Chain A
């Protein structure tokens, strides 16, 4: 009996934490999404009207800003995830070899990971500056045309993408390198009796063995980019126009800037949660099962 009480006592802090900081906000924001609540005004229960308006189910064409920001978020999620996976894996593969100054190089390469994303965004403002930024200077030095990073809609999209890739490639690098270092060396030694091709070794030994790690990283990166707000906020302020505003950024502006439309913002947030759950469910049902 006493043991049971002690067990519950030990569990209570965790349960309270989950109730207070996970379940209550989830429940309360779901409730807010069913109201027309604006901070400072009386809330009225309106059922699923917010969802209908956002998705255009009310016949009004939907929230075009939500749609365009969702489009950019998808671009960022797919672009950044694939580029960080490719770049991180490639760098990890290089560093998995015996090369000089490997420890120092590793430390340097992981540095962007420890910077706050908002700081990298502000740094990006300098780096991508049209007239004096080093990126354009390098392009010019290579004989390529200068890019109007913050003026051209596609330039701005890629500036945000590249900054995000810059920040998160080290994360992929660390995880994939750890996975690569866990591969027994004798597998390579045996394989080298049949081929000297590094590509074949990578394709038939390294890749299958790091694939579970890559899958997990891909999921984490996808979820992370869904939430991205700080880099576009500090780098482009969502511009030009609204082309680099992410869905989270739009939700934040809707709920916490100026108009304080917490009802509609909660509905927007819930829609994102639903998409994230679908992606996670897909991953766990298909991708992870394949590698188990």
Chain B
């Protein structure tokens, strides 16, 4: 009898063990190999294992009642199955299909056709997409035309993967919302950060050389644009990486059509935006916390003195790097910095995670990161003069970029199935994993990715995926400070026609100025004239109302 009891106990334990192993090793009956086959989905075993672990930790509910036999169509910025943003959708498609029994069709839309393909689909009443990932600046078009719908009713519903908008940093959360309603699920938090070579700026020999040549100690790290210019100017043309060739000061992407206008907006913010004098520095008035248009009448502000000085400064800063920058796309500028050929850059969070990929980066362990610099010179619109103050520079943060995330079509026939996938991507476990891959182009957005006191991530969370603890300390803390601690922020333009204002006019005019075809003043005057025409075409009154609502201005 005793033997029988022991046998039954052992057998039970064995069965339990087997069951638990089976439960842990499959996700709705699919193994890691089936969900993330190598090399079609995952690049290697480590990636497969980490992704599967993230998926298991996400506690995805059974969605088969929502999706069995159905098909969902997902439109996304097209950069391939292993490219930024679109790669994320391909990566998690099998998991979604396993959890819901549905099928997902992915439609890739090239960056330069984002403003064409999705609007054309709605305007011609095709309604191809159940959901699509676009940039937050497109909300002006999407919401005002009624193309996307709020998702508040499903947030927190246990039938769907769990995520909370409260986890999202307020600066990014505002980009998921319009008029108090939530339209997007968290995924990517775009803000431009300042990166530099930590090892070089902390090298006593280089510090001494700088002091000898410039006559003052090297700012480490530079905290104003003016200090940054002095540092990049010092290092530009010197062989500071020891490869025998002269190296660069700055690394920027400035080609027309290559998203270079984001560099301008990030830099110009602290030359042209002033915080409010009252209790709330972020309060919007006719003169404070405005960047793009006069909030009373939509007069373009782009050719005001602060903007012109900023563009002139960008020309000076770019001159401390290679001339080839004017033809570079985003990846070229990153690779130049990651390859150890530039002392500094300012760009999105991708640089932080990509710097840890030794296949692409030679600077792992030497990455310096800091909040975006302030400016010791800025234009005060209210008094109509430039202010110079090196002790108390003007600090303006940014959420520059797309902050790419999914939104749901108003016309989808499967809203709950669609939300299921949107929520799956927003789940903290999955989103944390995505932001650590680098290649997915997803940047930190949320408290679970930031260190204390802004979030609850730990150094171990990052070292567990192979990241350097020192690099992460600097990168994650700076990223958090960038989106939490700035006095005020560059207003995010998201009115109808944003692509027309920015990509079809400003981007081209900036390129003309950067390549010497026009002066900064001429380029921005031309931009202002273009903008006035666009606003006129789109109807000034309607544009003004949407602009005021989007920046929170009450006349």
Contact = CB atoms under 8 A, between A and B. Distances in A.
Majority SS at the chain A contact face: loop
Contacts of A153: 515, 517
Nearest to A264: B537
Contacts of B322: 131
A66 to B, nearest CB: 13
Nearest to A36: B537
A263 to B, nearest CB: 10
Given A237-B112, A258-B115, A259-B500, A242 B508 contact: yes
A148 B116 contact: no
Contacts of B509: 241
Contacts of B497: 258-259
A241 B508 contact: yes
B83 interface: no
B367 interface: no
Interface string A125-152: 0000011000000000000000011111
A130 B112 contact: no
Contact of A241 (B323, B503, B511): B511
Nearest to A151: B326
A253 interface: yes
Interface residues on B, range: 20 to 34
Interface stretch (B16-24, B252-260, B407-415): B252-260
Contacts of A256: 116, 120
Contacts of B113: 257
Contacts of B145: 40
A46 B534 CA distance: 18
B517 A148 contact: no
A248 interface: no
A215 interface: no
A210 interface: no
B209 interface: no
A7 B43 CA distance: 64
B324 interface: yes
Contacts of A95: none
Contacts of A237: 112, 255-258
B15 interface: no
A257 B258 contact: no
Given A152-B515, A241-B256, A130 B508 contact: no
A131 B500 CA distance: 32
Contact of A240 (B112, B500, B517): B517
Contacts of B326: 148, 150-151, 240
Interface in A208-244: 236-243
B276 to A, nearest CB: 33
A207 interface: no
Given A39-B120, A257-B115, A150 B255 contact: yes
A215 B327 CA distance: 38
Majority SS at the chain B contact face: helix
Contacts of B116: 256-258
Interface in A239-292: 239-243, 253, 256-261
A240 B537 contact: no
Nearest to A238: B256
B473 interface: no
* Most chain A CB within a 10 A radius of its CB, from B324, B326, B327, B517: B327
A257 B505 CA distance: 12
Contact of A148 (B327, B500, B503, B504): B327
B150 interface: no
B504 A240 contact: no
Interface in A18-63: 38-40
Interface string A108-131: 000000000000000000000011
B123 interface: yes
Contacts of B108: none
A151 B508 CA distance: 13
B84 interface: no
Given A39-B123, A258-B497, A258-B500, A131 B515 contact: no
A260 B515 contact: no
A52 to B, nearest CB: 15
A93 B87 CA distance: 51
Contacts of B504: 253, 257-259
A243 B518 CA distance: 12
Nearest to B122: A40
Contacts of A253: 504
A221 to B, nearest CB: 27
Nearest to A155: B327
Interface string B320-342: 00111011000000000000000
B499 interface: yes
Contact of B515 (A39, A241, A261): A241
Contacts of B327: 130, 148-151, 240
Contacts of B258: 237
B257 A238 contact: yes
Interface in B475-528: 497, 499-500, 503-504, 508-509, 511-512, 514-515, 517-518
B119 interface: yes
Contacts of A239: 255-257, 508, 511
A236 B327 CA distance: 9
Nearest to A237: B257
A26 B120 CA distance: 21
Interface in A149-199: 149-153
A256 B508 CA distance: 18
Interface in B107-151: 112-113, 115-116, 119-120, 123-124, 145
10 contacts: A130-B327, A151-B324, A152-B515, A238-B508, A239-B511, A241-B256, A241-B511, A257-B116, A258-B499, A260-B120
4 pairs of A and B residues whose beta carbons are closest in the complex: A239-B256, A150-B327, A237-B257, A241-B512
Given A239-B256, A240-B256, A257-B112, 14 more contacts: A38-B537, A39-B124, A236-B256, A237-B112, A238-B508, A239-B511, A240-B514, A241-B512, A256-B120, A257-B499, A258-B503, A259-B497, A259-B537, A261-B537
